[in-house]
Structure 1
């Protein structure tokens, strides 16, 4: 199964709705397919200039490292030199902050990732998870 544009739009709409419901700062949301190609993107009014770049780095980093960025950030705290090296060799395609979440189908297969930037990492991640769930997909570590 591949991630569809309709699913990506659902993820974005639900993630932004969650952000508004929670009073989050303006968000940028990017949805990538399993190959790291953008499927859809939205930036709320008032979101700052670098929000797209950070959101994409979160989603790309999750795909590239095979884990949600909240997990990667925890690993980076214990091995900062390695993860700073990864950021450097990938040209900044990894953001060491929560908000990059893998998108899975039943059975655990990764079909993409969502990256959100604009509020705290924890809020960004909660919005990403809400969007993925609204699209009827799974997120996080494989069960």
Structure 2
């Protein structure tokens, strides 16, 4: 059996250490704004790497943060950029109900890229959609 030729450096996956950085940074941003949130980090396969719900966060924020992360991962786009796509005249109008695992087209989910490739996603729920997007964006900035 032959070994396939190497095509360069191996892309490092999103790690639990990376997930902790993302959660901590999003949490700091939310805390600075006085907002209780839930934060979900998924790897490239959609598997949970990290989750945190603030004590005072609404219970539903855990579900919304996870769905936002999953949506950002599956479509490789920030959920804030997809809101218009699911309006009645949008190209993804029926997508939220077409799949077994529900997507959520509310701002707060962002894909995580490394060397230009998708390696995971972070979702934040609990604040206003624009706040959640800002907290998730702060997490990406901290990851570098």
Secondary structure, counterpart of 1:36 in structure 2: coil
User: What is the CA–CA distance in structure 1 between the aligned matches of 2:117 and 2:74, rounded to whole Å?
Assistant: 14
Q: Give the gaps of 5 or more residues in structure 1.
A: 137-143
User: What is the CA–CA distance in structure 1 between the aligned matches of 2:83 and 2:103, rounded to whole Å?
Assistant: 10
* Counterpart residue number, 2:99: 90
Q: Give the gaps of 5 or more residues in structure 2.
A: 1-11
Q: TM-score, normalised by structure 2?
A: 0.85
User: What is the CA–CA distance in structure 1 between the aligned matches of 2:133 and 2:92, rounded to whole Å?
Assistant: 24
8 Å Cα contact 1:56/1:93 also seen in 2? no
* Counterpart residue number, 2:137: 129
Deviation at residue 78 of structure 1 after TM alignment = 6.0
Output the aligned Cα RMSD: 1.6
Q: TM-score, normalised by structure 1?
A: 0.86
- Specify the structure having the higher radius of gyration (Cα): 2
Of 56, 59, 66, the residue aligned with 2:66 is 56
Of 41, 45, 57, the residue aligned with 2:51 is 41
User: What is the CA–CA distance in structure 1 between the aligned matches of 2:15 and 2:102, rounded to whole Å?
Assistant: 23
* Counterpart residue number, 1:120: 128
Segment of structure 1 superposing worse, 127-136 or 115-124 = 127-136
**Number of equivalenced pairs:** 133
Q: Which has the higher helix share?
A: 1
- Correspondences of 1:93-104 after superposition (within 5 Å): 93-104=102-113
* Counterpart residue number, 2:14: 3
* Counterpart residue number, 1:14: 25
User: What is the CA–CA distance in structure 1 between the aligned matches of 2:58 and 2:141, rounded to whole Å?
Assistant: 26
